[in-house]
Structure formats: C-alpha cells, structure tokens
C-alpha cells in the first residue's frame, strides 16, 4: 500500500488495481479467436471428457452389470464411445492444423512456439508474478501469454501422442489393415504393445491436471483483468483498455472505434 501523500487520488486504489486493466475507461473490443478455433476448442472439450471417462473404464472397469456380457455389452459400448470420440478429436485436430496456416497472428503456428529470448523472459515474469502474487508486475497480452501458450502447445503434443498410441493399439484388431500399416511401427519402437498401452494410459493424467490449472487461470485472469477473457472462447473477442500497453498488441494499429463506457 502506498504511503499517504498529498498527490494521492481521493479514492484509495488497491495496489493490485493500480496497473492491471481498469474496470472503467475506454475499451476496444478486439476479435481474436476465429470460429474454427472456437468450435475446435469445444469439440475437444467434449471429446476429451468422453475419452478420459471411457478410457479409464477400458483400463479398469469401475462398475459392472450383472448377467452375460453379451446381453449388456457394456465394455463394447464404452470402447465404441472411446473410438467415436477419438474420431471426432482427430477431425478437430485436422481443423486446428489447417488453422495453423490460415488463422490470424494469434492462431498461426509461430504463436505455438514462444521461444524467442523476449518470450522466455515474459514466461519468467508471468511465473514470478503468479508465485509472488504481484499482479502489477505481470506483462499484459491480448492473446495468450507465452506461459499459457507453452501449456497449450504441450497439450497439442500430448494429444498427438494419444492419437498415435491410440491408433497403434486400434490397428492391432486388424493386422495388416489400414491403421496397422500406418501406426504399426510404434510397438517395436517403444518395446511392445504393453508399453504403448502404458504410455497411452499415463498420458491421460495430463488432461485432468491441465483442465484444473487451465480453468482456474482462465477465471482468475478474467476476474483480475475485467476483459471478458472467458467469454472470448465463445464470442471470439475480448475488451482492451485504451490506457494499457500490451506485449503483443498496439491499440493504435486497431482500425475499430474505441467503445466508450463506464460499465461493461
């Protein structure tokens, strides 16, 4: 808290509001996330929930039905749901790869690798501000901050590994078939099919950890920045205060008119 001085504003501004974007002022709505990216996000959310729930069941059935297996076909249904969700996430992945080349600057493939010295310094600054809870020290980004981006890049790679290991197991049902021909190289490479299964199962746990941190940080960012970050994954855009400076955005490059309001 700043000591009392004559120049202090009448209303005492809490330290954490001093430099983070303000609640009141001139705001511009910036369109960030194209429709394909948003659709891919929500399709992936539902597919991943299905894949985790059904995958855990396949690995170790957590409930059983009485009677002959052929009468309820429970495991068969779980496996079917797993493979259906797998097909859907592959389609979402194809859309995402396409969007890496035609999306805007926040969506294209260079954004996936924030590894320049400036980006790495910003990763450190974001981490430091999280751990010390000094929000005013956190660099501002209109798109993802580089730490968040690295987390998303990791989840993309994990999903690619899930797809490759999953289809490699799937191919075993039809030796010499399409999937076995394309993904059959994996078991000999990693030391057998059981190893593939172990990798597939172990990587599953990345998702619950990611989701917890991702949802927490998204809500946290929205409540400290007041910029509509959470709704941006539905609407495609967020609010940018004309008074703030951003590492990845210059308000003066923005053709749209500032949206003046005291309430948003």
Site for ligand HEM (CB under 6 A): which residue of 17, 34, 74, 83?
83
- State yes or no: residue 48 binds ligand HEM (CB under 6 A): yes
Binding to ligand HEM in span 28-47, by CB under 6 A: none
Taking CA atoms, 232 is separated from 149, 218, 229, in Å, by 16, 11, 5
Sign of CA dihedral 231, 26, 107, 135: negative
Site for ligand HEM (CB under 6 A): which residue of 21, 114, 166, 187?
166
Report how far residue 211's alpha carbon sits from residue 217's, in angstroms, rounded to the nearest whole number: 10
- State yes or no: residue 74 binds ligand HEM (CB under 6 A): no
Of 86 and 227, CB closest to ligand HEM: 86
Segment interacting with ligand HEM (CB under 6 A) among 3-11, 109-117, 193-201, 223-231: 193-201
Site size toward ligand HEM, by CB under 6 A: 24
Of 59 and 110, CB closest to ligand HEM: 59
Residues 134 and 126: beta-carbon distance below 8 Å: no
End-to-end CA distance of the chain: 27
CA atoms within 13 A on the CB side of 166: 23
- State yes or no: residue 55 binds ligand HEM (CB under 6 A): yes
Where are the alpha helices (H) located in the chain, listed in sequence order? 35-59, 69-72, 74-102, 117-132, 146-170, 178-183, 186-190, 193-204, 206-225, 232-235
**Per-residue binding letters, 210-249, with ligand HEM (x by CB under 6 A):** ----------------------------------------
Residues 163 and 171: beta-carbon distance below 8 Å: no
Report how far residue 151's alpha carbon sits from residue 213's, in angstroms, rounded to the nearest whole number: 10
Of 56 and 224, CB closest to ligand HEM: 56
Least distance (Å) between residue 204 CB and ligand HEM: 4
- State yes or no: residue 187 binds ligand HEM (CB under 6 A): no
Q: Which residues bind ligand HEM (CB under 6 A)?
A: 48, 51-52, 55-56, 58-59, 79, 82-83, 86, 89, 159, 162-163, 166-167, 169-170, 197, 200-201, 204, 207
């Amino acid at each position: 808290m700043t000591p009392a001085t004559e120049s202090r504003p009448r209303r005492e501004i809490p330290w954490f509001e001093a430099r983070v974007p303000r609640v009141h002022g001139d705001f511009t709505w910036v369109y960030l996330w194209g429709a394909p990216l948003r659709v891919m996000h929500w399709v992936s959310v539902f597919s991943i929930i299905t894949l985790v729930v059904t995958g855990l069941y396949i690995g170790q059935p957590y409930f059983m039905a009485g009677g002959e297996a052929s009468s309820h076909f429970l495991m068969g249904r779980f496996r079917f749901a797993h493979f259906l969700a797998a097909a859907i996430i592959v389609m979402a992945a194809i859309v995402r790869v396409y969007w890496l080349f035609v999306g805007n600057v926040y969506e294209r493939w260079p954004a996936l690798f924030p590894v320049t010295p400036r980006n790495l310094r910003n990763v450190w600054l974001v981490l430091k501000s999280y751990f010390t809870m000094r929000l005013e020290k956190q660099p501002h980004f209109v798109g993802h901050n580089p730490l968040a981006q690295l987390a998303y890049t990791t989840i993309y790679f994990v999903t690619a590994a899930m797809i490759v290991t999953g289809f490699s197991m799937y191919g075993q049902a039809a030796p010499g078939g399409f999937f076995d021909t394309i993904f059959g190289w994996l078991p000999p490479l990693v030391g057998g099919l059981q190893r593939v299964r172990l990798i597939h199962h172990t990587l599953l746990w990345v998702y619950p950890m990611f989701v917890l941190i991702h949802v927490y940080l998204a809500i946290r960012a929205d409540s400290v920045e007041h910029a509509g970050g959470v709704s941006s994954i539905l609407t495609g855009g967020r609010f940018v205060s004309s008074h703030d400076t951003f590492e990845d955005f210059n308000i003066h490059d923005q053709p749209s008119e500032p949206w003046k309001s005291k309430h948003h």
